[in-house]
Amino acid sequence: MANNEIRNLIIIITVVFLIAPGFLLAYVFIYNRRKKSHIEEKAQMKLTFEAEIAKTQLEVQEQTMQTIGADLHDNIGQLLSLTSLTLNSIELEDIAKAEQKIDTAIDLTLRSIKEMRLLGKLLQGDQLIVLGLAEAIRYEISWLERSGKFVISYLQDDELPAAGNPDKDLILFRIVQEVLNNIIKHAGGTQIGIKLGYSEGILQLSINDNGVGFDMDNLPVEQRGMGLQNIQKRAAIIGGEAIIVSNPGAGTNVTISIQYP
């Protein structure tokens, strides 16, 4: 009996020693496979992020050129036309009126020069981001206010970090442009509120309007895909969350929350 127990024990130990390396090899294989998969996933995420940054840079540049084109046509073009009309209407026989019109033409010319300098700054889109998200948003608002169609309030938290994150700032700035474009094209409102807050490492960007709003549950698929999902996708890419709240007749509120910087 004792011999059988010893023999069985030896067999069990032998089996364990034979099986253990197999389990160990299987564990090492699975671990390496998961590690490789994790590395590949991180590499793919990096490529996706870099592609999104490049796409966003192009979109910001495109939006900038559209703004410049519109301003050249609607503002500077008008100023220069008025300057030309004023100069052409000068009659040297009436010195007093001629001097008044010359002064007016000089004033219009100086305003045109000032506008051109502002456009020069706008062309340096990357420089806006270097100045920080808060200033980039402020500059974007200044151009929208020029239309005279909107009353805009902009609140900026004094606790914003001194050192920002250029990649996150670029994505957030593009989201701001997208939301403002949606308000201009679809909302039909007159008031826009923008708030940039910061608390305990979380940056929160909120944009609301008093426009017509919409029914979130019955929004056409094409509109949801082109606008809302794009905003939510971009927020997710930088590790954030986009919450969009809207109701017919009650305007729309978009809130982006991300860890920052």
pLDDT band, very low/low/confident/very high, at 1 (cuts 50, 70, 90):
low
When comparing pLDDT for 68 and 134, which is higher?
134
What is the model's pLDDT at position 144? 84
| Residue percentage of the chain with pLDDT more than 90 | 26
How far is 78 from 198, CA to CA, in rounded Å? 41
Residue 56, exposed/middle/buried by CB under 10 A (0-12, 13-18, 19+)?
Answer: buried
What is the model's pLDDT at position 154? 96
pLDDT band, very low/low/confident/very high, at 28 (cuts 50, 70, 90):
confident
What is the model's pLDDT at position 30? 83
Is the pLDDT at 51 greater than 70? The verdict is yes
Q: What is the mean pLDDT of residues 81-96?
A: 85
Show me where the domains of the chain are located: 1-123, 149-261
What is the model's pLDDT at position 128? 65
Of the candidate ranges 27-41, 62-76, 216-230, 238-252, the one whose mean pLDDT is the lowest: 216-230
DSSP string, 131-183: T-HHHHHHHHHHHHHTTSS-EEEEEE-TT--SS--HHHHHHHHHHHHHHHHHI
- The mean pLDDT value of the chain amounts to 83
CATH class of 149-261: alpha beta
Is the pLDDT at 192 greater than 70? The verdict is yes
Beta carbons within 10 angstroms of residue 79's beta carbon:
19
- pTM exceeding 0.95: no
How far is 191 from 150, CA to CA, in rounded Å? 5
What is the model's pLDDT at position 222? 55
